Every structure is written in structure tokens, then in C-alpha cells.
Amino acid sequence: MTTKKYLVFLVVLTCVSICVASASVARAQQPTPTPKINLMPMPASLKFNGDRLAVNDSFKVATRGHSDDRLKAAIARFVKRLEGRTVLTLAPGLATDDQMTQLIVHCDGAGKNVPSVSENESYRIDITDRQAILKAPTVVGAIRGLETVLQLLNADRNGYFFPGVVIEDQPRFPWRGLLIDVARHFQTMETLKRNLDAMAAVKLNVLHWHLTEDQGFRVEVKKYPKLHQLGSDGNYYTHEQIKEIIAYARDRGIRVVPEFDIPGHSTSWLVGYPELGSAPGPYTIERRPGIFEPALDPSREEVYKFLEGFLSEMAALFPDEYLHIGGDENEGKQWDRNPAIQAFMKEKGIKDNHGLQAYFNTRLLKILQKNGKKMIGWDEILQPELPKDIVIHSWRGTAALAEAARKGYDGILSNGYYIDLIQPASHHYASDPLPVDSTLTPAEAKHVLGGEATMWAEWVTPETIDSRIWPRTAAIAERLWSQRTVSDVDDMYRRLAILSLQLEELGLMHKRNQDMMLRRLARHEDIGPLKTLVSLVEPVKEYRRYQMRPQTMLSPLTGVVDAATPDADGARRFAWMVKEFLDDAPRYQLYRAELVQMLSEWQESGAALGPMIDRSPALKEIKPLTKGLSELGDIGLEAISYLKLGQPPTREWREASTSKLDEAAKPYAALEFMVVPAVKQLMLAAVELGQPRRTTPSM
């Protein structure tokens, strides 16, 4: 029984195949089992028809209706991935559309030439024993559908196949983005490309490219070359590279929205052009994280002239209809101290810094309009003076977004999607741009265009960024694509684990880099005990990392905290087993063997880490965690032992354990154990043995 349940458990957590869980059969009470849906994001409608389309080495794809290079390239990528998974050599190129062709991609037209927020991304898939037909009004719709087809791939001992299915799908929100901050830490072309591939895999459609910051200016600017020459440490994208990324994104139906964050967040601009600043300078590239004073001077015409030159170059480079001007977190301290700016405000009748920034934005808007661009900016730009065709990007939340919508402004949500803050996927999954209790009218709700996950890059390098973005961002992608009612967290995690493996074929490093980082830290091939620890801890949440373990933008991000990830898998597995074990009271048998094994491994790993740390000074900072690891193992094993015997522990044990748990709950090296609550549950269950039982669980 235990073994069988353990298998079911493995299936629930990580099963990749469309598996038939006996539980779901029982629930559905059907004679034939219903396959599980392994798609992410979940489509708007799906119906299995019991058919099965075999995938073998005669598998061919043909197009019907419209075809173009972008579609052909997308099909070629599809075939390549299908071959990679199945190790089948398929015929290259497209087949002719006939009865023998297994997949027909039927496009009505090309869609928008430049990817657009108004693109029709819908598609329909019909799979029977004989053929799969993917139909879409646009090439982008077909690209979305091809990802769904690949996710449908399944296998059993008879071979690979696509299950018979009818899917009709379209996104809930038209703006589904990922912000990548390449300013605080530069990201290579390769990193951006593989992340674009991953975005396409989960149907995200906007790369929000955060290109400038206090800590770096990352675009070549031909008109003002000192911007990138002095503001980037040599790490910037040339015009050619930017075009390459835009083309790569377009090929995958993804828009590229650049952000140039002004008037604040602009230290790196001022290194080369201090005359744009509101204080005389000189300026150097900022190396710390945080909010800084430097801001462009909104009182000087030369600044607008500069921006006109700069933005016209950027507007020509980036084809998207939107351009993000940032506008956030400018506290105006430089403005307060600058007599000329103060005089300017007086002269113009501008009451405060808020008003001054509104004046700046109004000027900026005119420049953008002249260059054919719509403005998007953070919450702070929302000012009555600004016209209704700007987009509000809300870091504040759905209330701010709703308020903007009521005023007639389009908006997108990032509050709740700050993936740099190391929250679990479930946290982001719960954040909805249009929550169920929204009071917006349907017309107002249309102004809520979607949202964006934000990969702020204070603490990520090309080596670690994938593990900060993926797989969690897929949960956000689902929130933005799928219906609000798709909200089962357990099922989301089940599908996330499947997707996570699939992302690897696109070159994503979120899984494979961890072992490498641990090997470097351990200076050894054998990382077992360290891996055990890392599977149970997570980096501290929100902004506590810097407080606990200050570093600069030039520091190596190669520590244990960098190797650790959100949603620590060992901790999630442990919590799941503890729940099942305790629910099995008073037998306490379910998962007992597995829990004992896991907890013993903690004890052993805790002991084995000592010599490892002695050999690797970079591990010294986790020394306090090794004690915690052993003690968590001790408490867990002792609690299980009490529960097994039905014998309550002593008060001394309870007190000692409580104090050890309190100690283990403390973060060290900016890492915290995620298993403390589950171990505490075990402890409390043991303690309760000595108290009158309130209810006897039914068997």
C-alpha cells in the first residue's frame, strides 16, 4: 500500500506522461480513464475524444492556406523539438497537404507585420486517429497552437502519440509579458534568446526590455555615444544585436517593448552627460542596489532636446508601438536642492515634485507622439494632464489598476509578479489583474490589458537568471492566458514540473546549473549533502537578502544563496508527505518509511557538511544551517517514533524541540529552511498524543 501510494505521489508531483491516476478515475466514476491535461497554460476549452495519432518516423507536417517564412521556421523548430524528444529522424521540410500528412497547419493569414497587442492569437486543434489539424487566423495563433501540440505529445509502450482532442483556445489578456532587467546585471544575447524561447513555450508575448538604470546603460546610442561608452562597463547591445533580438522575438510572436527609465534611475546616463542631471556631478556608475537621487533636470530645454535626439533614435530602432519611460521612484531630492529648478517651478506655477514630474512627462509624451509611439510608464506617471492612450504599468496593485481603468487608462499589472522576490509560484498564481471581486464594468475591465512578470536583476547573472525566472513564470503566464477559474494550485504545480523539464530542451539552465554551482562551491564532484541542504532552503524573501548579506553589482553571485531556488523541491515534497502521514492518524503509517529515510538523510548530511565546509571556505556562511539540518532531522525522527509508539514525549523534549525549531527558523547566509512548519506539525502531533484526543479520524 505504501509503495503504491508513493508511486502515486511521485506521479502527482513530477509525472511527465498523461497519467491515469486511480483517484481521478474514482472521482469521475467512468469506465474508461480520463487522461490528465498536462498543458500549461491551460487552454480555454479542451475535450479528449479517445483517439490516438501515432508519431513515428513517417510523421510529416504540411501547411494549408497562408504560409510564410515565419510559419515555416516555427514548424521547423517544432519538428526539431519533436525529433529531440522522440529520437526519431523525420523528413525535413514540409510535406504536401494530403491524407497521409499527420499534422496540417492551416493559417488564414500572416497577422500583424509587427507583433501587436491587438494580434489575434487564437487557434483550434483537432486531433483524430488519422490527422491533427491546427487552425489559426494568424501565424502567431499557429505558433501558439504548435506549442500546445508539442505539450500534448505523450507515449506508452506502443510508441509516441498525440491524444485525440479538440482544443479551442485564446488568451484572456492580450498583454502577457516578462520584464528582464539587463541594466543591474547585463544579460548575454544567448540568455535573452533562450528566455524568448521559454516565453514562447508558455505563450507569453511581450519582452519588456529594461535597458537603463542607475547601474547601467545597455543600448548603443549613435547620437550620444557616451551613454553606452561610459555608462555600461562595455556591456551593452549594439543596434545590430537589438535588431537580432527583435527579429528573434517576432519569429516567436513576441513584442519587444524597451524601457528607458527617466527622470530618476538615471545615474548611468549622467556619467557621460552630467549636464543632464539636476546636480552638477561628476557621476559614476552606481554599484549598490537601492533608490538613488540622480534625476534628469526637467527645467532645462537642453534636456528635452537631448531626449528628442535620443528617443527618435530609439523609436526608429524598436518597432513596437509602445515605449516604456519608467518614471518610478524619483524622490526628487536633487530637484529640491537645485535653486534653478525651484525657480523654474515657481515661474511655471508647479506646486511640487509630483507636478514637476507631470510636466516632464507631458513634454516626454509630445516627443514620443512625434515619433509615433504610445507611452507606457509605472504608476507614478498617472496624471490628469496625460491623454488616455498611455498605459499605466502598476507595481502598486489591482486597486491602482482599477482606478486607472475607471479613468479610462489602459493598464497592466506587475504587483504580485515580482519574481525577483523569491516567492513561491503559488503566490504569483494568486495574483489576478482582474480579481474575482473586481467592481469594474465590462467596458472598464477591457482597459486591463494583462500583466508582466518582473525579473529585476540586482542578484542575477546569466548563470542564475533562468532559475529565478523559470519555471515560476509559467504560473504567471497561465494566470494571464487562461480563464480565472483555472486556479487549482496542486494541479498547477504538477503541470509546472512537467513544463520545467520541457523548458530544458530549449537550452534553459534553471535546472542544470544548480549542480554545477554546488560542485564549484564544494570543489568536488560529490555534492550529495550540500544538495540535500539546498533542496530544503530558499533564499530569504522580498528585500531581505541585501540586508542580511550585502553585496554590490560587481560581487560574484556564486554563493549557496545563488544556487538555492524558490519553491525548494525537497521542502515541498516533505510537506506533502507530512500532511499525508498525519492524515493517516492514528496509524501514522502512510509515508512513514519515506519520511524516516528523508529525515535520516538530513541528519547524515548535516554531519557530512562539516568536513565539506572545512575544505571550502565559501561554504563557511552556511555552517549554522548544518546544525539546523541535523536538528530538524532529529526532531522529525523522534516525533515519528513517538507517534508510531503512541507514546507522548516528555515536556523537556517538547521544550527543547521548540527552542531548536525556533533556532532553525532563523535565516543564515540569506537562506531559510522551508521545512520548519512541517517538522513543527510532526512535533505538535507527537505532543498532542499526551492530550485528550478531540476526534478520532475515520479510517
Catalogue the active-site residues. Answer: 329
Instruction: Give the C-alpha separation, 218 to 317, whole Å.
Output: 14
Residue ranges of alpha helices (H) inside 278-433 are: 301-317, 333-337, 339-348, 353-370, 398-406, 425-429
Compute CA distances 488 → 13, 340, 569, whole Å. 14, 57, 19
Instruction: Give the C-alpha separation, 672 to 571, whole Å.
Output: 11
Compute CA distances 151 → 70, 134, 140, 155, 479, whole Å. 21, 14, 17, 12, 18
Q: Which three cell numbers stand for residue 501?
A: 523539464
In whole angstroms, the minimum distance from the beta carbon of 614 to a copy of itself comes to: 4
Residue number, 158 or 485, with CB nearest to a copy of itself: 158
In whole angstroms, the minimum distance from the beta carbon of 561 to a copy of itself comes to: 10
* Dihedral over Cα of 430, 431, 437, 440: its sign: negative
Is there a contact between 457 and 182 (Cβ–Cβ < 8 Å)?
yes
Q: Which three cell numbers stand for residue 548?
A: 542580511
Residue number, 70 or 255, with CB nearest to a copy of itself: 70
Give the N- to C-terminal CA distance of the chain in Å, as an integer: 14
Q: Give the contacts of 198 (CB within 8 A, at least 6 positions apart).
A: 466, 469, 470, 473, 503, 506, 508
In whole angstroms, the minimum distance from the beta carbon of 641 to a copy of itself comes to: 27
Residue number, 190 or 302, with CB nearest to a copy of itself: 190
In whole angstroms, the minimum distance from the beta carbon of 518 to a copy of itself comes to: 11
Residue number, 490 or 583, with CB nearest to a copy of itself: 490
**Coil/strand/helix, residue 182:** coil
Residue number, 526 or 662, with CB nearest to a copy of itself: 526
Residue number, 223 or 615, with CB nearest to a copy of itself: 615
Instruction: Give the C-alpha separation, 566 to 548, whole Å.
Output: 17
Residue number, 32 or 284, with CB nearest to a copy of itself: 284
Instruction: Give the C-alpha separation, 668 to 666, whole Å.
Output: 7
Residue number, 461 or 589, with CB nearest to a copy of itself: 461
How many C-beta atoms surround the C-beta of residue 263 within 10 A? 28
Q: Which three cell numbers stand for residue 132?
A: 491533427
For residue 370, how many C-alpha atoms fall within 13 Å in the half-sphere facing its CB? 14
In whole angstroms, the minimum distance from the beta carbon of 87 to a copy of itself comes to: 4
Among candidate residues 96, 94, 143, the one with its CA nearest the CA of residue 120: 143
Residue ranges of alpha helices (H) inside 471-559 are: 472-481, 489-504, 512-522, 528-534, 544-548
The amino acid sitting at 346 is K
Neighbouring-strand partners of residue 450 = 175, 412
In whole angstroms, the minimum distance from the beta carbon of 254 to a copy of itself comes to: 21
Compute CA distances 231 → 208, 213, 224, 593, 666, whole Å. 21, 9, 11, 58, 39
In whole angstroms, the minimum distance from the beta carbon of 642 to a copy of itself comes to: 31
Among candidate residues 592, 572, 578, the one with its CA nearest the CA of residue 490: 572
* Dihedral over Cα of 45, 51, 55, 59: its sign: negative
Residue number, 401 or 506, with CB nearest to a copy of itself: 506
In whole angstroms, the minimum distance from the beta carbon of 438 to a copy of itself comes to: 38
Instruction: Give the C-alpha separation, 360 to 310, whole Å.
Output: 15
In whole angstroms, the minimum distance from the beta carbon of 625 to a copy of itself comes to: 15
**Locus of grid cell 501547411:** 63
In whole angstroms, the minimum distance from the beta carbon of 501 to a copy of itself comes to: 5
Q: Report the alpha-carbon angle 429-431-436, nearest 5.
A: 110
Instruction: Give the C-alpha separation, 651 to 641, whole Å.
Output: 16
Residue number, 61 or 685, with CB nearest to a copy of itself: 61
* Dihedral over Cα of 214, 216, 217, 219: its sign: negative
In whole angstroms, the minimum distance from the beta carbon of 570 to a copy of itself comes to: 12
Residues at the interface with a copy of itself (CB under 8 A): 10, 14-17, 80, 83-89, 92, 155-160, 190, 497, 501, 504-505, 511-513, 515-516, 519-526, 551-552, 554-556, 558-559, 613-618
Among candidate residues 281, 262, 274, 368, the one with its CA nearest the CA of residue 323: 368
Residue number, 99 or 158, with CB nearest to a copy of itself: 158
How many C-beta atoms surround the C-beta of residue 586 within 10 A? 12
Q: Which three cell numbers stand for residue 306?
A: 537631448
Residue number, 7 or 343, with CB nearest to a copy of itself: 7
Which backbone phi and psi does 46 adopt, to 5 degrees?
Answer: -150, 135
DSSP assignment letter at 91: P
Residue number, 201 or 206, with CB nearest to a copy of itself: 201
Is there a contact between 306 and 275 (Cβ–Cβ < 8 Å)?
no
**Locus of grid cell 525579473:** 455
